[in-house]
Amino acid sequence: MKHIKTFGVIGGGEFGGVAASCLAPANSEVLGFDIKPEASFPDHVERVDFSDIKEADALVLAVPFNALTKLVPQLQAQCNPETLIVDVCSVKMKPNELFTNEGMLDRPNTLMTHPLFGPQTLENGVAGKSLVVTESKGPRAEELTADWHERGINIVSMNAEEHDKEMAHLHALTFFVGRALVEMEIPELQLTTGYFSKLEALIDVERHHSRELFDTIQRHNPFAAAIRAKFIATLLRLDSEVSE
């Protein structure tokens, strides 16, 4: 039995378009909502108001963590009780705490995820990409994850703490290095090497990331600060060594 006929996306930002294009089940009606009039969705998405989006069979919350803190209580109070709420935040412990405190995890359908892909990495589609699931509850969650699996997405199950510990290295560290390189404003150079080209690729990816995503990863992963501190301390030690 198909439970998801309407698929809603709240948030027309960096990941909202990816969710609408790559995570919606085939043949589902895709709806989009954003409080900002200038926010955009792919052409196949029907833009609707909040009263319509909250009635969707499945609803992806493609917003930064700071916006989740306001949105989740509102949805818990007003959303269709059977709607599958899909969290796609890039950190997991704080959303899990928020969902627990607001009673969201008591709903019959809930799915907390982190897709490890975005608009800069989808040139060849989602097949082979990974998506972490930290909480899954209800038949609609099973239906949606089965649909993703059929598309070739690698579904990885782990708890929220395990996720954030790994992402402190995979995301917080790499985004921190990338942001620093962007803000250094390295000039255009005549020469290059394969090694330096990897840095240029990191810079190019980071230029496309929103500041909201960077702040979510750095401020709301409880393990990020320690990784940044270790990296900075290592840089200072290396600088001291070569300055002697």
Domains, the chain, ordered by start: 6-157 (3.40.50.720), 161-243 (no CATH)
Tokens 């982190």 label which residue?
A: 114
Confidence of residue 88 (pLDDT cuts 50, 70, 90): very high
pLDDT at 123: 78
Dihedral sign for Cα atoms in the order 155, 202, 38, 43: negative
Going by C-alpha positions, the residue among 51, 14, 15, 49 that lies closest to residue 32 is 49
pLDDT at 231: 98
DSSP code at position 188: P
* pLDDT beyond 70 at 1: no
The amino acid at residue 33 is: F
The values of phi and psi at residue 29, to 5°, are: -85, 125
Tokens 């409880």 label which residue?
A: 222
Query: What does the pLDDT average to over 24-32?
Result: 94
Q: Would you state the structure tokens that stand for residue 243, as one six-digit string? A: 């300055």
In angstroms, the CA 60 to CA 98 distance is 16
Q: Would you state the structure tokens that stand for residue 13, as one six-digit string? A: 């930002």
Tokens 């969650």 label which residue?
A: 141
pLDDT at 93: 98
For residue range 72-82, list pLDDT tens digits in order: 999 999 999 99
DSSP string, 124-174: T-STT-EEEEEEEESHHHHHHHHHHHHTT-EEEE--HHHHHHHHIIIIIIH
pLDDT at 168: 98
In angstroms, the CA 68 to CA 36 distance is 16
DSSP code at position 172: I
Residues 6+ apart with CB under 8 A from 213: 14, 64, 90, 175
pTM: 0.92
CB count in 10 Å sphere of residue 204: 12
For residue range 211-227, list pLDDT tens digits in order: 999 999 999 999 999 99
Rg (CA), the chain: 19
